[in-house]
Amino acid sequence: MVPINPTHGTPQNTRVATALGADDSSVRLKAAMAAGSHPDPGLLDALVERCAVEPDFFVRDMLSWALTRLSPGVTLPRLRQELGSARPQARSQALHTLSKIGDRSAWAWLTRDMLRDADDGVARTAWRVAVAFVPGDQREALVDELVTQLGRGDRAVRLSLSRALIDLGDVVEPALAKASAHADPAVAAHARATVLLREDPESGFDAAVDEATRIVTLGPERAAAC
């Protein structure tokens, strides 16, 4: 068991914070549920610190829920601090929790470094949160930033980026058209796959990638003739 010290050591907070570090994930889940059911700012640090190391997806999600139950005035500054953590999971979970809180003022905290984070999990979460929070007059700038990540990572990473770009709407069209002619075949194929998926969401990402790769390999004119 790894105990976590609460900010304010009331007996109840001490029990919950200790349970958040239990070896049994079901105990940790119940502790996170208890923290959310009876929100107390004294557990803020314990919840945030556990987010950075919690291995179980369901427990992490419950931790985020518990954090949303606290006053944003208390939670947001602490999450902003966590965005600068050296631990990728801490950054990713802080971003995820910000998306759950839904305070669009957090847009100002989403930096270029986050959108280009070396950790795929952090970058994917940052893309999703950025699309949700971006002001209307900055959508084009966000598109220009996101297209620099085309061709990155495995299927899951590329699908996440495609979905983020598609969710930005018509503003993506010029950037995707330009990227479709990129000298790097991986970038061009990913851009074309995103265009195809946007035009026909029912086709599925894998089919869009296969078709885009064929077009990039053969060239648009030869591909159309085949």
User: Quick one: tokens of 109?
Assistant: 């905290």
**10 with 32: CB under 8 angstroms?**
no
d(CA 226, CA 222): 6
pLDDT of residue 82: 97
At residue 182, what is the residue type? H
Hey, what amino acid is at 156?
A: A
69 vs 186: CA distance, rounded Å: 43
Rounded distance, CA 205 to CA 18, Å?
44
pLDDT score recorded for residue 6: 44
Mean pLDDT by 10 residues, the chain (226 residues): 48 89 97 95 96 97 98 96 97 97 95 96 97 96 97 94 96 95 92 90 71 65 48
What ranges do the domains of the chain cover?
A: 134-226
Alpha carbons 197 and 37: distance in angstroms, whole number: 41
- Per 3-state DSSP, the chain is made up of helix, strand and coil in percentages (nearest 5) of 75, 0, 25
- Global pTM? 0.85
Q: Could you tell me the CA-to-CA distances from 129 to 32, 79, 97, 107, 204 in Å, in that order?
A: 23, 14, 10, 8, 23
Q: How far apart are CA 60 and CA 29, in angstroms?
A: 8
Instruction: Answer for the pair 196, 212: CB distance below 8 angstroms, yes or no.
Output: yes
Q: What is the pLDDT of residue 2?
A: 38
Return the pLDDT at 219: 58
pLDDT score recorded for residue 59: 98
Q: Compute the distance between CA of residue 129 and CA of residue 142 in angstroms, rounded to an integer.
A: 12
Cβ contact 79:52 at 8 Å: no
Helix pair angle (11-20, 44-51), 10° resolution = 0
